[in-house]
Amino acid sequence: MIGLTILLTVSAACGRDAEPVETLTPTETAPPVIVAQESAPSPSEFVPAPPLGTLPSLSDMVERAKHSVVSIAVESVERGAFFDFTDDSTGSGIVVRPDGYILTNRHVVQDATKIMVGLPGGRTFEASVVGRDRLTDLTVLKIDADNLEAATFGDSNTLRAGDWVVAMGHALDLKGGPSVTLGIVSARGRTVETTQGSLFDMIQTDAAINDGNSGGPLVNLNGNVVGVNTAMLRQAQGIGFAVSSEVARRIADSLIERGRVVRPLIGLTGADLTLSRANYLNLDSANGIITTNMSRSGPAYKAGIRVGDVITHIDGTPTADMAKFLTVLWTYDVGDIVEIEYVSDDGKHVTSVKLVERPGD
């Protein structure tokens, strides 16, 4: 399956609302930021890499983890100008429950007319879609199989930049089991814009993620799943992204139990605050999100928030960027009332917003 392509823009949406009132067109440009270069460390400060002979083999861990990695073959119908034709693509998946529940990416099986899941032992089953979530690009499939070896999920919140991780999946649909690539966590909390929409709070890794890896696990050195391989940046080398295990586990459970993910809706679209906009509003820092699109029928608009306003806190919790804003927002339930602190042209304000249910995928 061709992985998600990362666009070279970053934005975010936290409400799928109709009838937008207005859209903010950025006119300000941030002044260039000059970063002082630190002097190079003296030779005595360099820490040499360990000899290759001291690096442990990961073969035992890979042998354990690969039994929960499946291949996914998708058949879809492409609509042509004069006739339709069948297209085939591939991806990967993770066994999340022994009774046949498989977690993968939404884009892997999007528009599929037939989905086949290949188990590590060679058996193949036709799969049905249990539920899908557009915002995290995750989908749960079900096959008629029992006693499968489910993956063990780790705590992605403990990951730090520099930690070793291994990406597994059926890259390029090669025969002989899943491919294994080693890398590190390059960063956490990334927000990226893909051809399928915005993805938030992503793990960035330099472990190679190729076509066919989508939906496969990103595991730590204990073999525990800490992410779901989702997207790669084709214009660069060593830049891939994975949905964190903390997000993936909650989404999978909700899709299995309800067939959908229930999230609160505040009714606005936002983007990270620029330095120039912060200076214009006389803010002490560029921490916050600027509203770029709203609906007259949305909760935020009814509470007095308008396009161009900057949201800085939810119930006293700082919202430095869209990733943090959504992380905090999605901890609330439908019907909760939250206090929003925001800044407009005429000063700082606090308003109460009653959250409604976000429409499903």
Question: To the nearest 5 percent, what fractions of the chain are helix, strand and coil?
Answer: 15, 40, 45
Residue 113: predicted pLDDT: 93
Please tell me the least confidently modeled range out of 84-88, 151-155, 223-227.
84-88
For residues 71-93, give the mean pLDDT. 75
**214: annotated active-site residue:** yes
Return d(Cα 196, Cα 302) in angstroms, integer: 30
CA neighbours closer than 13 Å in the CB half-sphere of residue 53: 0
Catalytic residue among 17, 92, 133, 137: 137
Q: Hey, what domains does the chain have and what are their CATH numbers?
A: 15-30+262-357 (2.30.42.10), 61-142 (2.40.10.10), 152-248 (2.40.10.10)
Query: Among 120, 85, 88, which Cα is nearest to 102's?
Result: 120
The residues, any chain, with a CB within 8 Å of residue 42's CB and separated by 6 or more, are none
Catalytic residue among 68, 198, 214, 245: 214
- Cβ-in-10-Å burial (0-12, 13-18, 19+) of 49 comes to exposed
Residue 316: predicted pLDDT: 95
Please tell me the least confidently modeled range out of 13-22, 49-58, 83-92, 240-249.
13-22
Q: What is the pLDDT of residues 167-190, one digit of tens each?
A: 999 988 777 789 999 999 999 988
Residue 29: predicted pLDDT: 39
Torsion region of 156: left, alpha or beta (phi above 0 gives left; psi -120 to 50 gives alpha): alpha
- 93: pLDDT confidence band, cut at 50, 70 and 90? very high
Q: What is the pLDDT of residues 245-264, one digit of tens each?
A: 999 999 999 999 999 998 99
**349: annotated active-site residue:** no
Residue 116: predicted pLDDT: 96
Q: What is the pLDDT of residues 201-259, one digit of tens each?
A: 899 999 998 888 899 999 999 999 999 999 887 776 789 999 999 999 999 999 999 99
Return d(Cα 341, Cα 319) in angstroms, integer: 10
Residue 79: predicted pLDDT: 62
Return d(Cα 223, Cα 219) in angstroms, integer: 5
Q: Find the helix or strand (DSSP H, E) in which 201 lies.
A: strand 197-205
Return d(Cα 132, Cα 129) in angstroms, integer: 8
Amino acid present at 211: D
Whether the predicted pLDDT of 72 surpasses 80: yes
SS3 229: strand
Instruction: Name the residue with higher pLDDT: 320 or 82.
Output: 320
Catalytic residue among 107, 186, 245, 321: 107
Residue 42: predicted pLDDT: 45
Return d(Cα 40, Cα 13) in angstroms, integer: 41
**284: annotated active-site residue:** no
| pLDDT above 90 coverage of the chain, percent | 59
CA triple 258-262-268, angle to 5 deg:
160
Query: Among 179, 101, 185, 190, which Cα is nearest to 138's?
Result: 101
Q: Please provide the average confidence, as pLDDT, over all residues in the chain.
A: 84
Return d(Cα 70, Cα 171) in angstroms, integer: 12
Structure tokens at 147: 């006693």
Is 289 in contact with 278 (CB distance < 8 Å)? no
| pLDDT above 70 coverage of the chain, percent | 81
For residues 328-346, give the mean pLDDT. 93
